[in-house]
Amino acid sequence: MKKNKIPSMTPTVVHDYLREVGGAWTGQGVAMELGSWLGASAVPLLEGLVKAGYDRPFYCYDTWRANKEQVGKAACVDVKIKNEQDLLPLFLRNVMPTYSNLIPSQNRIENVIKKYKGGPIEICIFDAPKQDPIFNMAMRGVMPHFIPGVTILGLLDYYFYLDKPEKKKRLMAPVRFMETNAGYFTKLMEWPVTQCSCVFFRYEKKLNLPL
């Protein structure tokens, strides 16, 4: 890893694709990220959005409370954080030079996403929610705002369960959801599972989830 960069849990190839996704923004809805950590994936997405003329709030959700795994990841690029540290100021410092119209919600995602009232969602990136019931609760919060034939859904931990066999049943929530509702989405991009866990989809037709 290079020094003096934003710590990341996703590879550069995904950041490049996020930049493309942002650059293809059509102006029909907002962009959001569920699980933002220090902004490594938000920045390339916003770089693309800015190039496309994005002029709306960017909604971001996270507890922004450091855990021991994150402390280790940050240390790999010489970024020092402490366990339980409030990371929201670091996120804002990293992201605001790229785009300043941010609406961060610092709480557990399942507690705040159901309160979202920001209108249609064109780009929705899922990073943190990957276990049930939180994953499905988050999907129920955002999907009523998805635009059929337009919305891009990025699931950055789609294959994460392959590295955690002891938690496979819980971590397969994104895979189970997409397989159950396969007729409502088209797969746009994925990479070899040896390279990353991310998969991107386009929402094709209206899906009404049970409350």
- Please give the chain's pLDDT, 211 residues, in tens: 333 478 887 899 999 999 999 999 999 999 999 999 999 999 999 999 999 999 999 999 999 999 998 898 888 888 899 999 999 999 999 999 999 999 999 998 888 888 898 999 999 999 877 888 889 999 999 999 999 999 999 999 999 888 777 777 778 999 999 999 999 999 999 999 888 999 999 999 999 887 6
The secondary structure element, H or E, covering residue 14 is helix 12-23
Query: How does pLDDT run across 84-139, given as a tens digit for each residue?
Result: 999 999 999 999 999 999 999 999 888 888 889 899 999 999 987 788 888 999 99
The CATH classification number of 12-203 equals 3.40.50.150
Please give the Cα distance from 190 to 182 (Å, whole number). Answer: 15
Phi, psi (rounded to 5 degrees) for 124 = -135, 115
β-strand partners of 132: none
Residue 100, judged by CB atoms within 10 A of its CB (0-12, 13-18, 19+), counts as exposed
Give the position of tokens 């996403």: 113
Please give the Cα distance from 198 to 53 (Å, whole number). Answer: 26
Provide the whole-model pTM: 0.93
Q: State residue 4's pLDDT score.
A: 44
Q: State residue 211's pLDDT score.
A: 67
DSSP for 129-160, written as a single string: --STTHHHHHHHHHGGGB-TTT-EEEETTTTG
